[in-house]
Amino acid sequence: MSEVGGAGSIVVTGVCGRLGKRVVRLLHREHKVIGVDRRPFPDKPKDVLHEQVDIRRKKLKDVFRHGEVKAVVHLGVMHDPRASASEHHEWNVAGFAKLLEYVQQFKVPKLVVLSSANVYGPQAGNAQFLTEDAPLLGGARFSEIRDLIEVDMLAQGFFWKHPATETVILRPVHILGTVRNAPSNFLRLPTVPTLMGFDPMIQVIHEADVVGAIASALLPGKRGIFNIAGPEPLPLSHAIRILGRATVPVPYTLGKILVRRMWSLRLTTFPAPELDHIRYVCMVDDTRARRDLEFSPARSIEETVRAVDGDRW
């Protein structure tokens, strides 16, 4: 692997998430890795330095001050729909703004930000494959996604204002695997509820392929915004069929009421606006990533979908 060469360390935020751990496992043999996360990191590789700090705290600056930092990988976006809006905003936007400040101040040559294809948002009038220039409308119906859009926008602003840093923004489609995100949790349900009469085409990507995309983004010379799609798109029903799950089709209006009620009773982790993801198309065109980032997913669609049952397969 020949990511950003030379001495210095790579700072990875949100390192204690499942994706963060995978990124560290890939990088730590060849690079000095500093993980930043306020959560504990129990099974951390020995040569990884873990700074258990909150990215909003001043202490984060010490990480930059002490070792020469050659790259920052920002995975530490909080997406907990249960957390309060202000907490969310504080962490995601204010924390990220701080991080950007240090990247600029300490002249870090590379910044990789993991955004998401969800920033485009599922809409009835979406083009089948959205390019990187499509407007970020994800917040129109789902306000919790607005932080994520703001992070994406901040990173875009940084990309233009500070050309000395190679900024890469990755917008992967639904990440599947052992990760605890909404799409993986959804497909892990023993009986998968679907919306009656809706079966949109979806794109999914294996968590290991996302790590691969991050590795490609770390290569010197790579900069820009990239949609990251997995293997070929498929109808939602096919994905459920690959997993051999039973489904319960629910009419949309009833489903919305049910999910909203269950949400307020804390019986589900899915907020009602997320139903749009199993109703409308939100797929991306990854031509740019294939051409400029030279990234294409290695795993087949079957393997990608089955990854949600990680331990069993």
Partner 1 sequence: MANLARIGSFARGARALARGLLGTATGAVDGWMGTLLGEDFNRRLARVPLSLTSQGVDPFGLDPQWTKWALASAAFLHRRYFRTEVHGAANIPTGRVLLVANHSGQIPIDGALIGAALFMDVEPPRFTRAMVEKWTQTLPFVSMLFARVGQVVGVPENAQRLLEQGEALLVFPEGARGISKTFDHRYQLTEFGLGFMRLAIETNTPIVPVAVVGGEEQYVSVGNVESLAKLLGMPSFPLIPQLLLPGGQLPLPTKYRIYFGEPMQFAGDPDDDDAVMEEKVWVVKSMIQSMLNRGVKDRKHVFW
The answer to the question of residue 291 lying near partner 1 (CB under 8 A) is no
195 binds partner 1 (CB under 8 A): yes
| Amino acid at residue number 240 | I
Residue numbers 200-229 binding partner 1 by CB under 8 A: 200-201
Residue ranges in 69-108 that form contacts with partner 1 under rule CB under 8 A: none
Q: Is 278 in the site for partner 1 (CB under 8 A)?
A: no
* Residue from 139, 172, 233, 273 binding partner 1 (CB under 8 A): 233
- Report CA torsion sign: 103, 109, 113, 119: positive
Number of helices and strands (H, E) in the chain?
11, 13
Choose between 164 and 265: whose C-beta lies nearer to partner 1: 265
Q: Does 301 bind partner 1 (CB under 8 A)?
A: yes
Is residue 124 near partner 1 by the rule CB under 8 A?
yes
Half-sphere exposure of residue 117: CA atoms within 13 angstroms, side-chain side: 28
Exactly one of 6, 163, 190, 221 binds partner 1 (CB under 8 A); that residue is 190
Residue selected from 185, 198, 263, 269 as contacting partner 1 according to rule CB under 8 A = 198
Q: How far from chain centre, in Å, is Cα 95?
A: 17
Mark residues 235-264: x for contact with partner 1 by CB under 8 A, - for none.
Answer: x--x-------xxxx-xx------------
201 pairs with which residues across the strands?
235
Q: Which residues pair with 71 in a beta bridge?
A: 10
CB 58 within 8 A of CB 94: no
Contact 9, 31 (CB under 8 A): yes
> Which member of 24, 63, 175, 234 binds partner 1 (CB under 8 A)?
234
Residues binding partner 1: number (CB under 8 A): 33
C-alpha span between 308 and 204 (Å, rounded):
11
By DSSP bridging, strand 234-235 and strand 201-202 are: antiparallel
Residue 264 tokens, joined: 């307020």
Q: Does 47 bind partner 1 (CB under 8 A)?
A: no
Establish if 148 lies at the interface with partner 1 (CB under 8 A).
no
Residue for token pair 């840093």: 165
Task: Give residues in contact with partner 1 (CB under 8 A).
Answer: 124-131, 190-191, 193, 195-201, 232-235, 238, 246-249, 251-252, 280-281, 300-301
